[in-house]
Amino acid sequence: MGIENLLLGFHVAITPYNLFVAVVGITLGTVIGVLPGLGGANGVAILLPLTFTMPPTSAIILLTSLYWGALFGGAITSVLFNIPGEPWSVATTFDGYPLARQGQGGQALTAAFTSSFVGALFSIVLITFFAPLLAEVALKFGPPEFFAIQLLTFSSFVGLGGGNPLKSLVTILLGFILAAVGLDIVTGQLRMTFGFVDLMKGFDFIIAVIGLFGIGEILLSVEEGLSFRSIPTGMNLRVVLDTWKVLPRYLRTFVRGAFIGFWMGFKPGGATPASFMSYAFAKRFSKNPERFGKGELEGVVAPETAAHAAGVAAILPMITLGIPGSPTAAVMLGGLIIWGLQPGPLLFQEKPEFVWGLIASMYTGNIIGVLMVLAFVPLFAAILRIPFAILTPVIVVICAVGSYAVHSSMIDVWYMLIFGVVGYVFKKLDYPLAPLVLALVLGDLAENALRQSLIMSQGSLAIFVTRPIAGVITAVAIFFFALPVLTPWWRRIQGTAAPSGSPRAT
């Protein structure tokens, strides 16, 4: 294990052809990441048939590079236009967009890309040295453990909402209701479709997000008056270096984000909850949590580190167990089989040059990726100089194309517009959107895991505390749920009573 294998891998990954393939993949991936709706999974699926004439290692390098590119690219529209290019970039909008509005788009993008790279590197190093061991840990995660993780994600947000707790509750419940529309996997029945065939596929999270954030924001801007303002932004690569000077300050956020991302990433659907959880913990442990949501650089670092760490970790179960950790990995897995490789525990022994070539290409791919996107930071930031009157129609078209691309279906474009109006109304009435999005993305996963667990235990909730891993995670989650209640009580015991400063639960 380890170094000599990795050297073998670099031997494969650093051929001119494979480096060229990586550059092509990253370029396409970044474009795909920028277009909301056209996610990494779609991009990989589109390119898959083209890879059949390539050697398997080059083929996987092309597809994984495209995936890294999509991970990097997802942040661009989140920061510039408040439109998350990918689901795991939603949390990046919370602070990235306000920063861009304040003319610091370059800084936000630099922070996002750098964090992505740090998160990725953390995961790659862990995969390099501990892949088989980590695969064993992943096997211990069944439905009860998975539900416990979802619970922990929700609990990390408790007490952070600010504003009116009742309004947060309303939006979170609305998110759960929307998540429940469509096929119920446990009974195989359709739920809440009211006989409408179009409701059958449910509400896609990414379409809701494009509408709520992207279109909603545009409607607000329009109302504020069509001022032909453009935002002055530095057009200089110095912005990258200046931001790098500040970033070491957030060392703890980097470490925490990378850890959360990796840990969540090797179970399916991990990157998005990881980015939310990382954001929530960064805010919780920050000295100035009140700055979050108003343009705090740390609020960009946290979700991006976690998302990219999770995105890389999703490859681990694919090569060690033959199960995909993300939808994109699922498509790559199909590719493996078509290239004549059998994904699963034997891949490391039977095809070392493939596996280690892939692992080595994660290093080269991410290094090439981060350099490429950083080089373009001034260019990306300069987009904000385009007058609003020209930019807005372009954004609306991109949103519509992105929504259509998710399922090649026109109804999704209408859903997006409806969500846009909802997003606008909610913002006017001061209802927070983040809980809705969180509930929409996690509701489905959490519900399935909960019901699978209860089927396994014949209905007994004890299954969440008697299994060691699930028990520990559940206990931590309960602790965070109780924290807003415990904190004032604890302060009183300490005698340092803070008369009016007790935090509120959401």
Which residues are near another protein by CB under 8 A? 32, 35, 38, 41-43, 45-46, 48-53, 139-143, 182-190, 193, 197, 200-202, 268, 317, 321-324, 327, 329-331, 333-335, 337-338, 340, 342-347, 401, 404-405, 407-409, 448, 452, 455-458, 460
Cα–Cα distance, 435 to 175 (Å, whole number): 8
Question: How many residues can be counted in the chain?
Answer: 506
Answer for the pair 378, 106: CB distance below 8 angstroms, yes or no.
yes
CB of 504 to another protein, least distance (A): 37
Q: Which DSSP helix (H) or strand (E) runs through 190?
A: strand 190-191
Q: State in angstroms the smallest separation of the CB of 297 from another protein.
A: 33
Nearest approach in angstroms of CB 485 to another protein is 33
CA torsion sign for 389, 390, 393, 399 is negative
Distance, in Å, from the CA atom of 152 to the CA atom of 29, rounded to the nearest integer, reads 31
Which CB sits closer to another protein, 16 or 340? 340
CB nearer to another protein: give 239 or 313. 313
Measured distance CA(448)–CA(451) in Å, rounded: 5
Angle between helices 105-139 and 238-246 (to 10 degrees): 60
Q: What is the 3-state secondary structure (H, E, C) of 26-45?
A: HHHHHHHHHCCCCCHHHHHH
Least separation, in Å, of the C-beta of 366 and another protein? 23
The H-or-E segment that residue 316 falls in is helix 315-320
Give the span between the Cα atoms of 471 and 391, in whole angstroms: 51
Of the candidates 66, 70, 119, the one whose C-alpha atom is nearest the C-alpha of residue 275 is 119
User: Which residues make beta-bridge pairs with 182?
Assistant: 191
Query: What type of residue is 470?
Result: A
Nearer to another protein, 11 or 407 (CB): 407
CA gap 480, 505 in Å, rounded = 11
In the complex, least distance from residue 344 CB atom to another protein, rounded to whole angstroms:
2
Judged by beta carbon, residue 42 or residue 89, the one nearer another protein is 42
- Report, in Å, the least distance between residue 109 CB and another protein: 23
Answer for the pair 485, 165: CB distance below 8 angstroms, yes or no.
Answer: no
Q: Which of 12, 25, 103, 128 is nearest to 71 (CA)?
A: 25
Q: Which is nearer to another protein, 17 or 52 (CB)?
A: 52
Pick the closer one to another protein by CB: 52 or 244.
52
Considering beta carbons, is residue 18 or 403 the nearer one to another protein? 403
Beta carbon nearer to another protein, 408 or 500: 408
Residue with smaller CB distance to another protein, 197 or 429: 197
Residue 444 beta carbon to another protein: minimum distance, rounded to whole angstroms: 10
Shortest separation between residue 239's beta carbon and another protein, angstroms? 31
- CA separation, residue 503 to residues 3, 158, 160, 240, 491 (Å): 49, 10, 9, 37, 12
| Smallest distance, another protein to C-beta of residue 268, A | 7
Q: How far is the CB of 147 from another protein (least distance, A)?
A: 12
Q: For residue 435, which of 338, 332, 505, 333 has the smallest C-alpha distance?
A: 505
Residue with Cβ nearer another protein (118 or 405):
405
